[in-house]
């Protein structure tokens, strides 16, 4: 069990601070009353014109053995660990991704323990549960984490959570808050999932509803701010209420849903990857077919945070934001 911490976080170190979530969080922290120090760390240097006046920016890899020295130099009491490889680059490889996701997380934990950090907040993922046909209809925090070994992101999130469990048992003085985040949507989100919704037709798999649980990006920031204020420790699914099956998403977008047999898609992905025309292999089939559906009861009842948007509202807000940007997703008679 973690020890109780009194008082809100005051000196905060953020890894992956120049990533999508990191930028939003750092901006929110800069407005947060009572926060004395914000250290924003990333492997990329933040351009001077994008820096906030009351934030300390450092260029530092999560694998850097001198990370603890940075924590000590700023008397950090809380670390928010966001750094991970969500969408690998074209020339990425599994060894590199493991070194950042898993070994980097271990390095962050070791630095926290060595420097007496009070709390670490970790952005995990619903992917840690894995993409399996026998997943419960609604996953709870007590369900087994079975991240797929064939899917690096899912596998690494599981491995990091196993590491976190070991640290909770061995180093209870370091409080942990682990947020298992659903599919993030926001006004400026562009990722593998949002790319699916931009296609003229949505691709589905026969026999699978492929339900999505969404969380608005500002709700992710809100949940992190909540734990920094309350110091509430534990593992929590972070998702909006409800889920949207792929057929309903297609209906809302006014686009056809083309459902193909799993065997046909497996063959197409296998050939496409072998020929180099697709970066994705047959393992991606389960990514769409067996979506982890996160129940957020503990988030609301135990953690005390209620997302501002449901899954349905988050999707509608995302579609509206795209339209406002001149990137309309909804197919009308004029665009058909």
pLDDT digits (tens, 9 = 90+) for 136-165: 999 999 999 999 998 999 999 999 999 999
pLDDT digits (tens, 9 = 90+) for 289-330: 999 999 999 999 999 999 999 999 999 999 999 999 999 998
Give the CATH number of the domain where residue 92 resides.
Answer: 3.40.50.720
268 located within any domain = no
280 located within any domain = no
274 located within any domain = no
Q: In whole angstroms, what is the distance from residue 263 CA to residue 267 CA? A: 6
249 located within any domain = no
257 located within any domain = no
Q: How high is the pLDDT of residue 266?
A: 83
Q: How high is the pLDDT of residue 267?
A: 87
Q: Which spans in 178-308 are helix H?
A: 192-197, 217-230, 246-253, 262-275, 284-289, 297-298
166 located within any domain = yes
Identify the domain containing residue 116 by its residue range. Answer: 11-190+215-242+294-309
Residue of higher predicted confidence among 21 and 91: 21
For residue 130, pLDDT over 60 is answered with yes
Torsion of CA 324, 328, 329, 334, to 10 degrees: 140
28 located within any domain = yes
Q: Which spans in the chain are helix H?
A: 20-30, 67-73, 94-98, 104-114, 152-170, 192-197, 217-230, 246-253, 262-275, 284-289, 297-298, 311-324
For residue 78, pLDDT over 80 is answered with yes
In this prediction, residues 68-80 reach a mean pLDDT of: 98
If one counts the domains in the chain, the total is: 1
247 located within any domain = no
Which residues are CB-contacts of 113 (< 8 A; sequence separation ≥ 6)?
Answer: 167, 171, 174
């Amino acid at each position: 069990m973690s020890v109780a911490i009194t008082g809100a976080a005051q000196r905060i170190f953020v890894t992956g601070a120049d990533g999508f979530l990191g930028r939003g969080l750092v901006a929110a922290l800069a407005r947060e009353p009572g926060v004395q120090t914000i250290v924003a760390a990333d492997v990329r240097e933040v351009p001077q014109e994008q820096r906030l006046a009351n934030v300390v920016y450092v260029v530092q890899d999560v694998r850097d053995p001198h990370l603890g020295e940075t924590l000590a130099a700023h008397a950090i009491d809380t670390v928010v660990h966001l750094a991970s490889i969500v969408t690998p680059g074209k020339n990425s490889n599994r060894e590199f991704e493991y070194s950042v996701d898993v070994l980097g997380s271990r390095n962050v934990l070791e630095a926290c323990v060595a420097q007496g950090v009070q709390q670490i907040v970790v952005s995990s993922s619903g992917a840690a549960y894995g993409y399996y046909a026998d997943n419960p209809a609604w996953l709870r925090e007590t369900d087994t984490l079975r991240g797929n070994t064939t899917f690096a992101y899912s596998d690494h999130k599981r491995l990091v959570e196993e590491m976190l469990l070991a640290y909770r048992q061995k180093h209870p003085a370091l409080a942990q808050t682990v947020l298992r985040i659903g599919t993030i949507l926001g006004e400026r989100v562009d990722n593998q999932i949002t790319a699916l919704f931009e296609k003229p037709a949505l691709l589905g798999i026969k026999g699978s509803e492929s339900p999505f649980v969404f969380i608005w990006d500002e709700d992710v920031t809100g949940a992190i701010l909540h734990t920094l204020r309350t110091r509430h420790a534990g593992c929590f699914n972070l998702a909006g209420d409800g889920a949207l099956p792929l057929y309903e998403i297609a209906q809302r977008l006014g686009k056809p849903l083309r459902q193909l047999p799993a065997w046909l898609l497996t063959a197409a992905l296998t050939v496409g990857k072998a020929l180099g025309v697709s970066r994705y292999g047959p393992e991606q089939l389960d990514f769409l077919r067996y979506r982890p559906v996160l129940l957020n009861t503990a988030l609301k009842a135990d953690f005390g945070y209620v997302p501002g948007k449901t899954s349905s509202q988050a999707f509608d807000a995302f579609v509206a934001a795209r339209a406002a940007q001149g990137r309309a997703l909804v197919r009308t008679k004029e665009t058909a």
